[in-house]
Amino acid sequence: MLKETFTVMRDLPRVREIVAILIRYGLGNLVQKLGLNKGIERASDALHLPGDHEIQLMDPSVRVRKALEELGPTFIKLGQVLATRVDMFTPEWIAEFEKLQNDVPPLDFAVILPELQQVLGADPHDIFKALDSQPIGSASIAQVHRAQLQDGTEVVLKIRRPGIISKIEADLRILRHIATLAEFEFPDLRRYQPVRIVDEFAKSLRRELNLSTEARNLERFVQNFAGHDEIEIPKIWWEWTGESLNVQSYIGGIAGNDLQAADAAGMDRKVLAARGADAVLKMVLIDGYFHADPHPGNVKYLAGNRIAFLDFGMVGRLPHPRRDQIVDLLAALSQRDEHGILNVLLEWTGDTVVDEDKLASDIADFMFNYENLPLKDVPFGHMLNDVAVMMREHEITLPSDLTLLFKALITLEGLGRQLDPEFKMVPHLTPFVKEVILERLSPKTWLKNGKDNLFEAFGVLSGLPRDIGKLIKQARRGNLKVDLDLKRLDRFGNLIAKSANRLTMGIVTGALIIGSSIAMTIKTGPTLFGMPLLGFLGFVLALMNAIWLMFAIWISSKDER
């Protein structure tokens, strides 16, 4: 707690700014519940201000989205991450989070030039044949300028904004403090692990701050799509790429959301939709390494119905065990296999206790909604949203490495429908699922898995004599210990001890009252205020015990709330 207090004191000016914005958007109750107003002058009065009447009429999701926008880059990116948590938020909240845009006013090139010169180690105009001082894109972390190499090659310079790291680090410290408070104050949020979400978000954001991370991502995708001429991935120039500068090839073409320009250029929308879907599904199911945000702003259409993907700052990774679970789920969804869906969801429950019969019944009702639809007409994005709703209702938290995947698949189907109103995801999905399943069942895969299991078994057997020897030595020396971890046993023991203490005090208090009443009838002995002294002292002691009991019970009930 001392560490959190120091964090708040160090970042107090920013905390004041955050509190003021939250209160302005009608979130004063949240501020008060989290205790963010403590130590901030006049905050208690501000919590009760009526605020802007127009803001008060907005839906809570709209007010939260606007507050995140005003809070700045870190909170905007947090909102964009929360837009992937279809297992936590309803579609209305997801839709609002999706409106969060990362576009910010560009910095003057004179502000960026010293940073650029320091990174390059020379005057940028000496290195590049041409350098446009007007940015073609500006985001919260970096802005992008077109340039030309000495050989005439068109490139773009992605330059990190000066001073951005210290600002984001301050916000991340405050966010973690808020997450810790939220986890303590709101028991219903604990299953979503707010602190863990913030920690993972901080790790992801720090990776994004290092622009060489995107460069490594790009190289990986270039390798994965070697030989796929219909897909274009930017090339990296490593001699000028580092933490604060990323130099990559310039890709022109038509913006993914400019469908009129695509039509005017004679492009085939159906082909574009099909190629985009096949590319993302290859990333997910074959490579296990995918673009996490394939929305139109990160896509360009090139001559010959080719597609270019841009902005690889946020990518998703799927290890083989998780990929197998996804393939099983997608296969079950496309084949309407209720038992298969149930098995996958139960694997994702973790420590959550789930009513399996109720979950199986809900899955049956869910599949009934799509029973009469031909397989090719199944709205895949709607099915994934329905799965997310079931997970929310049964308090199943989607594993963190799958949140980006669900969002990417839903976004992908939306992009396909935007290009081609008749676009269907399932026909594109089925061949990839079959390919992965056939690969899983192939003799080569069986041989590899068998070899891995055999080596693991040999490793266990070879270490068995040594482990048994250690156990025998520990037992001989009397150092053998068995740790038995029974959940909540300590808390249960504390509750019993407290209850026993209160019961004992209650009995003693009752005995004092009875004994004092008897003593009051005795007319001999010392008196006080005309009453027998022993009887009077007994009543006083009983009153003190009663007050202590009531106070202890009140404190206990307050802690439980």
146 neighbors 159 (Cβ within 8 angstroms): no
Candidates 11, 293, 362, 420; catalytic one: 293
Residue 81 makes CB contacts below 8 A (sequence gap 6+) with 197, 201, 204
Closest to 192 in 3D by CA, of 354, 400, 406, 402: 400
- Give the side-chain half-sphere CA count within 13 A for 540: 8
Between CA 287 and CA 28 the distance in angstroms is: 46
| Helix H or strand E segment including 48 | none
Q: Please list the alpha-helical segments (H only) found in 394-442.
A: 400-419, 426-441
Under DSSP, the state recorded for 422 is: T
Q: How far apart are the first and last CA of the chain?
A: 20
Structure tokens at 121: 């180690």
Reading phi first (left if > 0) and then psi (alpha if -120 to 50, else beta), residue 305 is in: left
292 neighbors 408 (Cβ within 8 angstroms): yes
Structure tokens at 451: 């070899």
Structure tokens at 300: 């360009």
Active site residue 268: no
Between CA 410 and CA 421 the distance in angstroms is: 15
Q: At what angle do helices 320-335 and 338-347 cross, to 10 degrees?
A: 150
What type of residue sits at position 553?
Answer: I
Q: Residue for token digits 């397989």?
A: 375
293 neighbors 409 (Cβ within 8 angstroms): no
Under DSSP, the state recorded for 161 is: P
Q: Angle at CA 229, nearest 5°, toward 156 and 153?
A: 30
DSSP code per residue over 184-202 = HH-GGGGGG-HHHHHHHHH
Q: Residue for token digits 């007050």?
A: 547
Beta pairing, strands 299-302 & 306-309 = antiparallel
Structure tokens at 20: 């003021």
Between CA 92 and CA 95 the distance in angstroms is: 5
Active site residues: 293
